[in-house]
Amino acid sequence: MDTPPRALITGATRRVGAEIARQLHTDHELLLHARHSHADAETLAAQFNALRAHSAQILTGELGDELARTRLADAVGTAPLDLLVFNASRYARSDLAAAPELRNAELRAFLEVNLVATWDLALRLRPLLVAAAHAHGDAAIVVILDIYAQRPLPGYEAYSISRAAGAMLVQALARAFGSAGIRVNGVAPGTVLWAEGAQRGETDAVPARGTALGHIGSPADVAQAVRYLASARYVTGSVLPVDGGRSTHL
Ligand SMILES: NC(=O)c1ccc[n+]([C@@H]2O[C@H](COP(=O)([O-])OP(=O)(O)OC[C@H]3O[C@@H](n4cnc5c(N)ncnc54)[C@H](OP(=O)(O)O)[C@@H]3O)[C@@H](O)[C@H]2O)c1
């Protein structure tokens, strides 16, 4: 391949997304998506471009907004896209006692960001993935999910529902896209980084002792799984837990 493969990563500029970007940058040209973290995006892109000229570009947009998604897909351009990593997510508590219109709007917001945006961008960008599969023999989508796609996280019902639907999206698109040479897989992290702000105390309640390994993971563990799924040419429709064996305790 003359030019490095191209990868788009959503929510790419901080925390887990930035680590995925760092690990993929070794052998990919990166499109770094940011919503609000513009300064972090500039810093990260500058680091990457200093290491290798023109190797990183910033794209922006609110994933919950259909028009913004259209603009984002347009900004990806027309060159083949080898890898699409859906890392951005909406994560917040549910208030089951809220007024019906509020709690319904809240569920819709979770579904829009964590499910519809993935569906929408995967389908909009499918022609670029097909072109990459033709040119390079393989193209891949990796969706970052959560161990709480399989069982609900108490207090985070809408989030958990959106993640469970995301796990089915992985399987459905893997089947729909497979004949075009596009693989679709998921990564389901356990706790790898404490949530920020209001969620911190709640996430701290997730016990490291609830894992087989006895400690929480790191963003690098998730990034390593993304790298594996990006290159595992006979793996599709799978969701890989990166949870220190937490499933053995639940
Ligand atoms: N941290 C963990 O231990 C853990 C555990 C299980 C699963 N996960 C999953 O792993 C992924 C990365 O985790 P993380 O903790 O690093 O995530 P995070 O910090 O909560 O969010 C990652 C990025 O998503 C972007 N984002 C959020 N809402 C958005 C929206 N409506 N439109 C566009 N972008 C939006 C934000 O970008 P801006 O900053 O640019 O606004 C944010 O920086 C997420 O999918 C998360 O659910 C994480």
Tens-digit pLDDT string for the chain (250 aa): 578 999 999 999 999 999 999 999 999 999 999 999 999 999 999 999 999 999 999 999 999 999 999 999 999 999 999 999 999 999 999 999 999 999 999 999 999 999 999 999 999 999 999 999 999 999 999 999 999 999 999 999 999 999 999 999 999 999 999 999 999 999 999 999 988 864 544 444 555 778 999 999 999 999 999 999 999 999 999 999 999 999 887 6
Answer whether 10's CB lies under 8 Å from 62's CB.
no
Residue 1 covered by a domain: no
User: Domain span at residue 71?
Assistant: 6-248
Residue 211 covered by a domain: yes
Query: 162 CB under 6 A from ligand 1?
Result: no
For residue 163, the ligand 1 atom closest to its alpha carbon is 47
Q: What is the CATH number of the domain that holds 170?
A: 3.40.50.720
Count how many domains the chain has. 1
Query: 36 CB under 6 A from ligand 1?
Result: yes
For residue 35, the ligand 1 atom closest to its alpha carbon is 40
Residue 199 covered by a domain: yes
Residue 152 covered by a domain: yes
Residue 93 covered by a domain: yes
Q: Which of 136, 230, 142 is nearest to 188 (CA)?
A: 142
Both tokens of 167, joined, read 């796990």
